[in-house]
Amino acid sequence: MIVSTTGAARRRMEKVGLWLLLAAGAVVMFFPIYWMFATAIRPKDEIFSGNVDLLPTGWVWSNFADALDHMPFLTWAWNSTVIAVVAVVITVSLNLLCGYAFAKFRFAGRDILFIAVLSALMIPIQVIITPLFLIVSDLGLLNSYWGVILPRAAEAFGIFMVRQFMLSIPDELLEAARLDGASEFTIFLKIVLPLSRPIIAVLVIFTFMWRWNDFVLPLVILTDQEMYTVQQGLNLLKGQYNTEWTDIMAIALLSLVPMLVIFAFFQRQLIQGIAGTGLK
């Protein structure tokens, strides 16, 4: 009886310790967002006073209106939304098709080609930004949405995740569909895609986040300020002699809203999709 009571107490202590650890991690992760909010609503002169506390001395909600009046945030947000949404549709579709081919088809050079795809993960975009710019320029896509979307239409990381996830789909299920006379496109559309909803959710979240937060490629491709994305617009708020931190934090806080909406919509499938990539 004493041993049972001691074991139950130990499990409760472990559970409490786990919750405390998770709470501490949540506080650490949430603090940057809180600091953005606290800075966005501070009086402008407080930031340069040298006495900046965790709690603002005043709640100046008009800072958000001032930031929207000073900069065309809605135009930037529209540009980022178009690029991110179109890129999600194209990139997710290509990643699903490529990952399915690598996982379920056998063809000459498959493993070598897959290794080549994985090798692309080790190449930073800064290394290939110059040839990318030259190709986009030769295609006449400078200062356009397509110039930002097409160079990264397929992601090696997404192909890898889809391939790992689809390895868990039984081959017998696909063979049975083929014996029933189903075409490869029908099998992919009617069987593979419904079973791949978790990994699709993961791809949508990651792709949207990458495109929305992308700065380097739009900086090189987009030259007209009317085509700027939110991240480029935030860079404009840094002055040569003075920086309006309240405006920057207000715009940065508003730019988080679309990503939070996407995450909230697909969060149920997120963990399942990530866990499913390691089944085989």
**pLDDT confidence of residue 280:** 45
Tell me the pLDDT tens digit for each residue of 72-96: 888 999 999 999 999 999 999 999 9
- pLDDT grade, residue 124 (50/70/90)? confident
Tell me the pLDDT tens digit for each residue of 216-272: 999 999 988 889 999 888 887 776 556 777 888 888 888 888 888 887 777 766 666
The encoded tokens of residue 188 equal: 């992919």
Place of tokens 């400078």: 142
Residue-averaged pLDDT of the chain: 84
CATH number for the segment(s) 73-276: 1.10.3720.10
- pLDDT grade, residue 273 (50/70/90)? low
- pLDDT grade, residue 4 (50/70/90)? low
- pLDDT grade, residue 145 (50/70/90)? very high
Q: What angle do CA 243, 245, 248 make, to 5 degrees?
A: 100
**pLDDT confidence of residue 51:** 66
**pLDDT confidence of residue 99:** 92
The encoded tokens of residue 261 equal: 């909406």
Asked if residue 142 has pLDDT above 70, the reply is yes
Q: What is the mean pLDDT of the segment spanning 45-49?
A: 67
